[in-house]
Amino acid sequence: MIEIFVKRPATTIIFIAIFMVMGLVSIGNLIIEPTPKIEFPIITIQTTYGGASPEEIETQVLKRVEDAVSEISQIKKISSEARDSYGVVIIEFLIEADVNIKSIEVKDKVEAIMNDFPSGADRPIIAKFDPLIKPIATLALMSDKHNLTELFEYADKKLKTRLSAINGVATVDVFGGRERQINVELDNNLMIQNYLSIEDVINSVSSKNLNVPGGSINRKDSKVSVRFVGEFESVEEIKNLSIVSREGRTIKLSSVGTVSDSYKDVDSIARFNGKDTVGIAVKKLSDGDAVKIVGTLKSDLEVIKKELPEGMKLEIAVDTTRVTVDNTVGTINSILLGVVLTIIILLVFLGDWRGAIIAAVVIPTSIISTFFIMDMSDFSINMMTLLAFGTCLGTLIANALIIIESIYKHLQMGKDPQLASIDGTKEVLLAIFASSGTNLVVFTPLAFMGGIVGQFMVQFGMTVVYATIFSIMASVTLTPMLCSILLKDPSRLKGPFPFIAKITDRVIAWITTQYKWFFDKMMDWPITATILSLAVFFTIVVPAGQLGSEFVPKSDRDEYTVTVVMPDGTPVEKTGEVVAKIDVLLKEYPEVTSTLSDIGYDGEEKARVTVSLTPAESREKSYDVLMAELLIDLAKIPEAEVTLSGGDSGSGGQGDITIDVTGRNFEEMAKASEKMKEIMANSGYFGSIESSYRIPKMEVQFNPDASKIIRQGLSNVQIGQVIRGLVNGNDDSVYKEEGEEYDINITLGDDFKKNVEDFDSFLIHGKDGLIPIASLGKVEFTEATSPLKRRDKKSIIQLNGYLAKSNTGTVMGELTKKFSELDLPESVEYAYTGNAENQAESSQELGKAFMLAVILTYMLLVAVLDSFVFPISIGSAILTSFLGSFALMFYTDQTVNIGSMMAMVMVVGLAVNNAILMIEYAQQKIAEGIEVREAIWLGAKEKLKPILMTSIAIIAGTLPQLFALDKIKSAMGAVIIGGMIGSIIFTYFLVPIVHYLVYKVKNLIAKFRNKEVIS
């Protein structure tokens, strides 16, 4: 087969070009996204129950939903949260569950208990939930000439429609600003004078503001529609609306209150660089290409800016695709750098620029061809596939170098280029299949990992497999063909490169001479040498014991998120004042380029500030140093809980360390959680700590007297609606203008609902006339119930800690010791959840993949060497190489995380390659009749050059990852580079001894069996 490809170059070129062309076409089809597309099996059930306390939401809604849905199979966990007037249940199923089927099952279960819900509760909204869906870009609309109402109106009515039309955009959300509303604010004193209640005003507005179809009149040859038109045509008409009192008097609405074309109560504020603005968040469809969408958005923005009213400015405040693009460009640069370093290594070792050109052609063909299968597999260009290319670059380099070096050796024997290409390829063909085959058996198991982590790993593992397959294909077709055309007798080479290669050969010859002494001593004292090698290996416990652990390490993303949590009941304006202080503080840092504040994003007491930084390359201060300085300054704001998170941690409202406190008594849970929070705060590891337990806000409660209500001919519903209208307002009616609808909100003026005492003047019509609502029951000023969290049908208090230093594994270990010293009630328990659960799941699944990789690697080596025993000697290089990995991780301050664990699986495949080259060649010599010790020496001697060349090439190709700002990449780089260094050392100082001992044991067993046969 190799002869065909070597002797028919046109056929070979077309064979490879087919995959190249399809790969180039597929690149245009692949979308670029931060993470692989995953359909999370998560379903939410949201219920609104107006006026209900969190406690009522929990007992009357959430518990009933939890009991109903808990009968459904494949549930992983159920979590829920109760707030004022609102509750949500989140059901997470096992990853193998079909979320569409489960959605139907959940809907059926909830439908079955609908009659058990309180009458005031709205119909539950059941929806699938994807935690990865976030805005891909956020725009800021500002103006010095227009007020916030006009800005909101333009953003909501004009820009939202324009941006939604961009291909791939799913939703456009507008936040901040002021939403237009017709406000009717009643004067309570004038209402009493005119013997009116708010019910009279609401009924008058709703009965007047009507358009009613009246049917049609049949004419001889047509029909004419009849319509009653009574809707308000202007705000002035609303002011002049006549209200008829119970006494029959007619009063204009403007006589008992003010009517204004104004805006709704502000419950959210947006600021860009400290200036009030209107924020516009753009979200993409699940299969949309974020980079293309934002690219289109930027080009459209130039046109939109020209169409803006005079004085308005529109800017992109946050562009989340920048990190994705930088990551993609960084990986491409790493691959190019790897290819350049490979060329340099080839020139240094072989001294022929033609060989360098061959490697520069062969390696990219494997990568480009891989895009074709990725497209067929519905993969995308994302963090995991980019990591896969960076990871497998070493293998692609090694395959090309091994064949080129082998062909050079045959050229030195005096063979013509064509014969040398054929014989050189055949000599190492088995080694190529074996070393590349280890990649296949190591990474294929990643496709069978369970859990959410397994879904991320599928694209990583299979991309490496695809690239490896094309690498094998190119190595046995294109590489020998190009070598037969371009390479020539090394003795005829001229120039500086051959001279450098000769120096390299002399260095290798010197190393070989020095190693021969060690080799002879090892073979003379094999047991002692084995013990010494293993003793060196077991020093691994020193660096390994010092390494911390975490799920996803924090990486420099040129961005921080500041989260502000004020006491419950804090108005949005007060929260905004605190955020203004943070904006001023952040302006003092030259590294901060912009800030975008979303105040009231999850309740008026919460705010989120996205802080954009200058690129890391142009920053004097590192990410961690800047974060530590910011934490010190942010701690100076005493009236709020301020959290600073960055990198990949703290996403989704989850801290680096999350602790769930459970128990039978909520008060005991609250006291225990406060003690634990104090320990966390005093540990010195955390920048900030959040607790789901909040000091309850105060509220006015009206407890009705049933007998008095009945006597007045009223009902609880009537009284509740009147109280809601008086305090919050009634917006059932709308005002229409130019095809748009605006709420008409009817309520008391602010001056009449400032204090608790004002409740005494709230009036309602009863049998005795206009009476105070307070006379129908008891008014109390008391503590409200704070928001409640539940998990797996148990109440919890959740603590979220955001680390300022160290790592989750180390800190969790120390916290566990401190918590064990607490005198907690017997019923109170705690558990590490969130990232700790993800880390445990990923460790378990990667552990399974690691063991499966080792087993499959052994099986492959058995097949290659045709022996069940000899793979033991090659396998000895696997575990021992991890000494290098852990040592380099320790010296480069890495942690055991998702990236380093993936790289450890990779090392299983890479570490055996050097041993395969040596032992496979030794086995060839033993088959030729050479004595075992001498054959092993020949394997070590003859393969030193290709082993050094490929190992250095793999290290050089991985080197850019080690210095990457992305901590996952740098952790992978440390593991692979350290593993390769360890592999070189133990391949030469342990593998030969083990192989020699295996032969001795095999011969002893054979002699023993022969004696048994003779006897």
pLDDT in tens, 482-531: 888 887 766 666 667 778 888 988 999 999 999 999 999 999 998 898 89
Rounded Cα gap, residues 635 and 999, in angstroms: 68
pLDDT band at 609 (very low <50, low <70, confident <90, very high): very high
Q: What is the mean predicted confidence (pLDDT) over 63-72?
A: 92
Residue 666 has a pLDDT of 87
Q: How far is CA 136 from the centre of its chain?
A: 13
Q: Which amino acid is at 69?
A: V
- pLDDT band of 355, cuts 50, 70, 90: confident
Give the per-residue pLDDT at 495: 64
Q: How far apart are CA 520 and CA 967, in angstroms?
A: 43
CB atoms under 10 Å from CB of 927, counted, come to 9
DSSP 3-state percent helix, strand, coil across the chain (nearest 5): 55, 20, 25
Whether pLDDT at 874 is above 70: yes
Segment 247-262, tens digit of pLDDT: 788 899 999 999 999 9
Q: How many CA atoms lie within 13 A of 530 on its CB side?
A: 15
pLDDT of residue 622 exceeding 70, the answer is yes
pLDDT of 681 strictly over 60 = yes
Q: What is the pLDDT of residues 642-676, one digit of tens each?
A: 888 875 444 445 788 999 999 988 889 999 999 99
Average pLDDT value over all residues in the chain: 86
| Counts for the chain of helices (H) and strands (E), in that order | 34, 30
> Under a CB-based contact definition with an 8 Å cutoff, are residues 947 and 987 in contact?
yes
**Opening angle at CA 876, ends 870 and 879, nearest 5:** 150
CB contact at 8 A, 204 and 732 = no
Q: Write out the DSSP string of 269-303.
A: EEEETTEEEEEEEEEE-TT--HHHHHHHHHHHHHH
pLDDT confidence of residue 308: 92
pLDDT digits (tens, 9 = 90+) for 286-318: 778 888 999 999 999 989 999 999 989 999 999
* Interatomic CA distance for residues 189 and 874, integer angstroms: 94
Stretch 792-802: mean pLDDT: 90
Residue 595 pairs in a beta bridge with 611
* 173-226 residue pLDDT tens: 999 989 999 999 999 999 988 888 999 999 999 988 888 888 888 887 788 888
Is 896:548 a contact under the CB 8 Å cutoff?
yes
Distance of CA 14 to the CA centre of its chain: 41
pLDDT at residue 651, as a whole number = 42
Domains annotated on the chain, with CATH: 42-128 (3.30.70.1430), 180-265+698-783 (3.30.2090.10), 352-488 (1.20.1640.10), 524-554+835-1014 (1.20.1640.10), 558-646 (3.30.70.1430)
- The pLDDT of residue 650: 40
| Amino acid at the residue 652 | G
Per residue in 398-438, pLDDT (tens digit) is 777 788 888 888 888 888 888 888 888 888 888 788 878 88
Q: Which residue has the tokens 């009968």?
A: 71
DSSP 131: T
Contact between residue 789 and residue 796 where contact means Cβ atoms under 8 Å apart: yes
- Distance from the first to the final alpha carbon of the chain: 51
DSSP 308: S
Among residues 921, 891, 902, 853, which one has the least CA distance to residue 981?
891
432-467: pLDDT as tens digits = 888 788 878 888 887 777 777 788 888 888 998 999
User: Mean of the pLDDT values across residues 882-899?
Assistant: 88
Report the C-alpha gap between 191 and 301 in whole angstroms.
51
Q: How much is the average pLDDT of 60-71? A: 92
What's the token pair of residue 616? 């890391």
DSSP-based three-state secondary structure for 192: helix
* pLDDT band of 988, cuts 50, 70, 90: very high
C-alpha–C-alpha distance, residues 874 and 870, integer Å: 7
Region 470-476: mean pLDDT is 88
Burial per residue of 103-130, b for 16 or more beta-carbon CB atoms within 10 angstroms, e otherwise: bebbeebbeeeeeebeebbeebebeebe
Distance CA(62)–CA(52), nearest Å, equals 12
Local structure of 774: helix, strand or coil: helix
Distance CA 253, CA 242 (A): 6
Pairing between strand 86-93 and 75-83?
antiparallel
Per the model's pLDDT, the better-predicted residue between 21 and 560 turns out to be 21
Residue 365 pLDDT greater than 50, yes or no: yes
Instruction: Judge contact between 353 and 347, C-beta under 8 A.
Output: yes
Q: What is the pLDDT of residue 647?
A: 53
| Between 983 and 879, the higher pLDDT residue | 983
Find all residues with CB under 8 Å of 29, minimum gap 6, and list them.
375
Separation of alpha carbons 417 and 432, rounded Å: 20
Residue 483: per-residue pLDDT: 87
Determine which helix (DSSP H) or strand (DSSP E) holds 984, and give its type and residue range: helix 967-989
* Percent of the chain residues topping a pLDDT of 90: 28
| Distance, CA of 443 to chain centre | 22
pLDDT-derived band of residue 1011, with 50, 70 and 90 as boundaries?
low
**Residue in the block written with tokens 């705000």:** 235
Tokens of 221: 């040859």
Residue 471 φ then ψ, to 5°? -65, -45
pLDDT for res 659:
93
Which H helix or E strand runs over 331? helix 321-350
- 684 SS3 class: coil
The pair of structure tokens assigned to 553 is 């390490």
> In this model, does residue 969 exceed pLDDT 50?
yes
**Which residues are CB-contacts of 270 (< 8 A; sequence separation ≥ 6)?**
140, 175, 176, 177, 276, 277, 278, 279, 596, 597, 598, 599
Tokens of 673: 């959680």
pLDDT class of 1013 with cuts at 50, 70, 90? low
> How many Å apart are CA 644 and CA 796, to the nearest integer?
24
Contacts of 126 (CB under 8 A, 6+ apart): 43, 44, 45, 103, 106, 107, 110
Using a pLDDT cut of 70, give the percent of the chain over it: 98
CA distance 222 to 200: 42
Secondary structure string (H, E, C) spanning 339-387: HHHHHHHHHHHHCCHHHHHHHHHHHHHHHHHHHHHHHHCCCCECHHHHH
What gap in Å lies between CA 744 and CA 188, rounded to an integer?
Answer: 19
- Tokens linked to 567: 């006491």
Say what the pLDDT of residue 796 is: 92
Bridge partners for 90 per DSSP: 44, 79
**Residue pLDDT, tens place only, 367-399:** 899 999 999 998 988 888 888 887 777 777 777
Check residues 303 and 875 and name the one with the higher pLDDT.
303
CA distances from 599 to 75, 155, 271, 579, 915 (A): 35, 18, 8, 8, 60
